[in-house]
Structures are given as C-alpha cells and as structure tokens.
Amino acid sequence: DTGVSQDPRHKITKRGQNVTFRCDPISEHNRLYWYRQTLGQGPEFLTYFQNEAQLEKSRLLSDRFSAERPKGSFSTLEIQRTEQGDSAMYLCASSFEGEAFFGQGTRLTVV
Amino acid sequence: AQTVTQSQPEMSVQEAETVTLSCTYDTSENNYYLFWYKQPPSRQMILVIRQEAYKQQNATENRFSVNFQKAAKSFSLKISDSQLGDTAMYFCAFRVAGTASKLTFGTGTRLQVTL
C-alpha cells in the first residue's frame, strides 16, 4: 500500500481547455474526498464519495466541475472550460472509518 | 456551519525550543473531532494529532500535545523540542462526529524552525 496517489502532480493549461485529474485511494478505503487549496488558504471541501455514490457536493463545485468514482475505486475530477480562478492545488483524501489520508495533490495553473 | 480560525499566519521557533500554535473554532455541534495536520513544503498533508470532543483529557503524540478548551472553543497545538523537520504549514481542522462528513480547515500557520 503506497498511500493516496494523484496524477498528474502538475498541470498547466490554457484558459478554456478541459482538464482531468485522477486519484487512487488507499485500496480498502470506501470514502473519497476532493478538496481545493488556493495559496495562503486551507483546503476547502469540494465533494465526497462513499464507494461509487457521490453523497455531497459543495457550492464551490460549479457546473464546470464533475467528479466520478466508477466501481468505487479510483476517482476523476474534470474541469471544463478552465478559468484563471481555477488555478489551485486539488487534493484527494480517502478514509475507511477514521482519519483521512491525503495525496500529494495536483497543482493546476491556468494561463 | 462550522468555522475554524488560525490567527497566526507565521511563527518561528529555534531548534529544541517549544512553540504553541493557536486555533479557535465555532460550531453548534456537541460531538465532533478536532485535528492538527502538517503540510511540509511540496509534500502531502499528514495527521499530527486528533482530539475527540467528548474526551476531557488532552491528546498527546510524542512531542506534540494539545490544549483543548471546549467551553472556550479553543484547540492549541504545542510542539516540544522543535526539530528542523517540523518546518511546515500546520492546519487546524474540524469534523462532525458520527458521520463521514468533510473536514473544515483553518487558513494555516507557517512554522519555521531555525538553528
């Protein structure tokens, strides 16, 4: 078990392009969370899955954002028509019953 | 809704000294957890210490301990015998107990440990 893995680690994209990030949680963890962290701020919750069901979405998750977790394993977060304000670190975390374990994040830069 | 406030954007401490990071929170919940997470530069966030609100005893993990004051809604982190490897961003976080609810984070305190 190598912990929570996120890919890519860094992504630079032009405004208006679509991007997709992947998160592989710890294998036995049924809960998966996405957070966004901007410079100088703490992580802010985006969405949460229990197995394959998306159970909660933040108001931060606009219509341009979509997240999936097919078969309750890995998860993807897609941002369509990226904007400069989407530039941030996107963190994934997973848990079973207790504490959440975080991945190293994907840093998105929209130019 | 819950809020978490960290009023110290940056702190500095000399190696081997003790430092205390402050955190206050606001909630109407009675049963919850509080956490301190460490985020080293360019590395993933890791859990430092956790406190259950129903426990009066303050949590301790080696050199890390908390001062949990439930009535005052205060949750400070004390790092004893500071080491260079303690240099990181430290985030205070809150989660409602009994659910798989998300973490609510403060804005963080950047701790620099110097020689």
Nearest to A50 among B47, B100, B105 (CB): B100
Q: Are A111 and A44 in contact (CB under 8 A)?
A: no
Phi, psi angles (nearest 5°) of residue A16: 95, -15
Percent of chain A scored above 70 by pLDDT? 99
pLDDT value at position B41? 86
Written as six digits, the tokens of A13 are 């994209």
Q: How far apart are the CA of A18 and the nearest CA of chain B, in angstroms?
A: 25
Give the mean pLDDT of B90-108: 90
Q: How far apart are the CA of A104 and the nearest CA of chain B, in angstroms?
A: 4
Nearest to A48 among B6, B100, B105 (CB): B100
Give the mean pLDDT of B74-80: 98
CA distance A78 to A19: 6
The answer to whether B104 contacts A45, with C-beta atoms less than 8 Å apart, is yes
Nearest to A42 among B43, B100, B106 (CB): B106
